[in-house]
Amino acid sequence: MQKKKAGMPNRESWETLWINVNIATMVESDTDYGAIFNGALAVSKGKIVWLGTMDELAVINYSSKQILDGKGKWLTPGLIDCHTHIIYGGNRANEFEMRLQGKTYEEIAFAGGGILSTVAATRSASEQALLASAKPRLMALHKEGVTTVEIKSGYGLNLETEIKMLKVAQLLEKELPVTIKKTFLGAHAIPIEFQNNSQGYINEVCHNILPAIAEYKLADAVDVFCENIGFTLDETKQVFEVAKKLNLPVKIHAEQLSNMKGSELASTYNALSADHLEHLCEEGVKAMCNAKMTAVLLPGAYYFLRETQLPPIELFRHYQVPIAIATDSNPGSSPITSIQLMLNMACTLFKLTPFEALAGVTVNAAKVLGIADKKGKIAIGYDADIACWNIEQPAQLAYQFGVNPLTVLMKAGQVVI
């Protein structure tokens, strides 16, 4: 440690300094948004190294290579979409039309459409074709301030195609300045070759596909679609047991269409999150609270499937289960690539406050991805993934939809938009 000589404070030397900004730090505090008004923020080597008010900055001896004058705009953490399925072949506009004529999502799935039709299109698509169709989806999210995205596999349902999907996810990270977290969702549907033999497919997932994915280090987490059109509790448990042995954290698609108690099962594996949750009961909320899980709510799927059963928001608040919000971007139940629309829908459809909605795509979304120690907040030592918005108050991010107020996006300390 260098000693400070009296009267000669050390000179701080920074790479980039934001000045004249209001900052929604999203650091837990009694103040909404953890706001710093008329603030400044310094970045070096991809990290946030200083933040405070302009008055505090005025008494510091500093230099900065680059100065960005925010002129009163707002900074938030770069947004995090913690639940997506953006890599897939084809589209399901025909099923959308069928649903408008009265068929339900479940009926279409039981008749061999739904996820399985996307599986067929994904199996026959080349790696390059999947990359080319996923990139504009990721770009659409990125242009709205997203700097971290979780992407699930699950439209391959065999080793070859699950690997292909996860490799495309890896490639996307090289194409755009977005951190990608990859989730293996092999237990998404029962593939045609295992029709009426779900246990046979679960054996394949547990003994062949998942161990290989883990060996190739292609996944950061393991997800299961626990549902009447997906997998039973017992089948889910078998997959979680293997994930546990392989040291991979788990999460679950649960209680979307029915209450199968998937969230409670997931809580016994200290799952990162349970996602959807429209049909979750109080016991499930308590179990999630005890296991410190996060609830991921997906208003896009609720909207697109014209669901009417609301997730138990009041219970999440009561038991202090953190709430994350994500697009669930996928071809069947949420063909949506707008995180800003999700902020709006989280408030209009689920009655979250604009603050809760923003926490859902920052601090709480980071928890879901196991990166809460470096992303999702504006705090010293955190990654300098920062969005600058042309708004007068943070509630505008959820209030309006259609005009994109993003003016600058910084990823790991570099201005990328």
Q: Applying CB under 6 A, which residues contact ligand DI6? A: 85, 114-115, 118, 188, 225, 253, 301, 328, 330-333
Judged by beta carbon distances under 5 to 8 A according to partner kind, the member of Fe ion, ligand DI6, none in contact with residue 302 is none
**Could you tell me which of 413, 315, 302, 297 has the C-alpha nearest to residue 360?**
297
CB of 72 to ligand DI6, least distance (A): 39
Tell me if 255 contacts Fe ion by CB under 5 A: no
Shortest spacing between CB 328 and Fe ion, in angstroms? 4
Q: Is the separation of the CB atoms in 88 and 331 below 8 Å? A: yes
Please name which of 376, 294, 296, 367 lies closest in space to residue 334, comparing C-alpha atoms. Answer: 296
Residue 293, number of CB atoms within 10 A of its CB? 26
Residue 211 three-state SS: helix
Q: Which does 114 bind (CB under 5 to 8 A by kind): Fe ion, ligand DI6, none?
A: ligand DI6
Helices 127-143 and 159-175 pack at an angle, to 10 degrees, of: 40
Q: In the complex, what is the shortest distance from the CB of residue 368 to ligand DI6, in angstroms, rounded to a whole number?
A: 15
Starting at the edge strand found earlier in the chain, the sheet holding 79-81 runs 79-81, 146-152, 179-187, 221-225, 250-254, 273-276, 294-297, 323-325
Region for residue 112 given its phi and psi (left: phi exceeds 0; alpha: psi -120 to 50; beta: otherwise): left
Q: Which stretch binds Fe ion (CB under 5 A): 57-65, 125-133, 322-330, 357-365?
A: 322-330
* H/E element, 59: none
Q: How far is the CB of 189 from ligand DI6 (least distance, A)?
A: 8
Q: Which is nearer to ligand DI6, 51 or 205 (CB)?
A: 205
Check residue 162 for interaction with Fe ion (CB under 5 A).
no
Distance CA(153)–CA(155), nearest Å, equals 6
Check residue 328 for interaction with Fe ion (CB under 5 A).
yes
| Residue 165 contacts which entry, Fe ion, ligand DI6, none (Cβ below 5-8 A, type-dependent) | none
Residue (77 or 89) nearer to ligand DI6, CB: 89
CB of 31 or CB of 94, closer to ligand DI6: 94
Which one of 232-240, 323-331, 383-391, 395-403 is the stretch in contact with Fe ion (CB under 5 A)?
Answer: 323-331
Query: With contact defined as beta carbons under 8 Å apart, do 358 and 398 qualify?
Result: yes
Is the separation of the CB atoms in 227 and 257 below 8 Å? yes
Interacting partner of 225 out of Fe ion, ligand DI6, none (Cβ under 5 to 8 A depending on kind): ligand DI6
Residue type, 313: I
Cβ of residue 85: shortest distance to Fe ion, in angstroms? 6
Q: How far is the CB of 332 from ligand DI6 (least distance, A)?
A: 2
**Residue 300 or 376: which CB sits closer to Fe ion?**
300
- Closest distance between ligand DI6 and the C-beta of residue 119, in Å? 9
Cβ-proximal residue to ligand DI6, closest one: 332
Query: Dihedral (C-alpha) 353, 354, 357, 361: value to the nearest 10 degrees?
Result: -160
- Which residues contribute to the site for Fe ion (CB under 5 A)? 328
